Chain A
Amino acid sequence: MTRIVAELDRCIGAGQCVLADPGAFDQREDDGTVVVLEEHPADDTAVQRARTAVDTCPSRTLSLVE
């Protein structure tokens, strides 16, 4: 099952992931770093959105593992 992994120490709080999928990602109030809300994308559209988040994340914080 596809899983979203975030290497938190890389995150710079750009918020591109939240723009890609506000249902799956949020940012912490204090330091803006990513919070993964939905670790397992539920269907193909959700996987597609997660891919966009991985691709647009500027600090290469996110990855998808099968």
Chain B
Amino acid sequence: MATPPALQTARHCPYAPPQEHTRIRDADGGVGRVTLGSGQEAWVLSRLDQIRTMLTDARFSSDRQDPNFPRFSPGGRPTGGMRPSLIELDPPAHGAARRAVVGEFTVRRMADLRPRIQEIVDEHIDAMLAGPRPADLVRDLALPVPSLVICEQLGVPYADHDFFQVRSAAVLRRDTSAEDRDRVVHELVGYLKDLIASKAEDPPDDLLGRQLAQGRDPEDVLSLAFLLLIAGHETTANMISLGVVTLLERPDELARMLEDPERTLPAIEELLRVYTIAEFANARVTTEDVEIDGVVIPAGEPVVALSNAANHDPSAFPDAERIQLDRGARNHVAFGFGIHQCLGQNLARMELQVVFDTLFRRVPTLRLATPADELPYKDDAFIYGIHELPVTWGEAA
């Protein structure tokens, strides 16, 4: 049998899924076969209903130790010697691990965090405005805000933030060599181990301290800490920068959004849908034969949800290719679906909300210093985004 076509990881258009994937969705019944960057052949699902079914069916496992779990690049998966974290656990272990921490991320807890997030955002905008023009919005705002927020929540001292930013970016970049990735993971794990040990004696009132005070095993707290740092850092940063570009490119819609604070959250949902930045997080391995729309996927097979194609599925989202900030659809799978749906989603929503509500009001003359179609989009990363976002403001120079 011929080798299936390669999974398309690079995007030729920032707003649209690759044609190879929409063709599977629209012409091939939604189920297809691809070859992954590791050389593995994998199944792909591409319609919204198929992906929701997959992600709520326990026969699709998240066990990354399984040799048939999808791998997107050659080489092994570094574990840093850690126990499997939340995102890798299947039921029933997953439920217990998730409930031990999800109280930290409820909608209400995130609302309580709002004033502190507002301060952090204001300080970073002040600093940007005090600096030279153009500024890089990724470096000055998009990266440091979520990074500072998650580090404060966990109880990581601010002095160590640069250390984290550099290393988590390297873990996520697709072109990082296997040796470099191993070394970086090792350094992060070593740091977190020491941090957790220092909190064990007299647990402070921060997320890691509270996990220890609940009597959770420090080894489990370590894998949780690592996951939260990696998962909460660059994802939100990428949505901030992609969102700023999109909104600046649509001044009329931006003006309407700013008229009514109720419009920000629906706009965020639409941005999440359109960009689906963490598309390849939705990967599984089958533990039994599963039939999806008449196709039998045998047990022990890698399966990847083409969430970006699904989030542009015209049968689920009318006029799906158009960005409509007031669409108000929350049935997208940008945060995944099923038991692993993003733990940090309400934190991410709150951060995006504060940034968008503040930035355009405080800096009404904000504009791109590089045309949107010439920006360095992250075609080389596991999570989609923009490397650098030059912006300027005030009178034209």
Instruction: Give the interface of A toward B (CB within 8 A).
Output: 9, 12-16, 18-20, 22, 26-33, 52, 55-56, 58-60
Contact = CB atoms under 8 A, between A and B. Distances in A.
Interface stretch (B94-102, B122-130, B154-162): B94-102
A13 B98 contact: yes
B331 A12 contact: no
B304 to A, nearest CB: 19
Nearest to A20: B330
Given A31-B99, A31-B102, A33-B99, A19 B330 contact: yes
Max chain A CB contacts within 10 Å: which of B55, B100, B107, B341? B107
B72 interface: no
B191 interface: no
A58 B155 CA distance: 29
A19 B107 contact: yes
A5 to B, nearest CB: 17
Contacts of B346: 15, 19
B390 interface: no
Contact of A27 (B106, B265, B330): B106
B353 to A, nearest CB: 12
Contact of A12 (B95, B108, B330): B95
B49 to A, nearest CB: 12
B331 A32 contact: no
8 contacts: A12-B95, A13-B103, A18-B106, A28-B103, A31-B103, A32-B103, A58-B56, A59-B56
Interface in B289-335: 330-331
Given A31-B102, A32-B99, A52-B330, A12 B107 contact: no
Given A20-B330, A56-B330, A59-B56, A13 B99 contact: yes
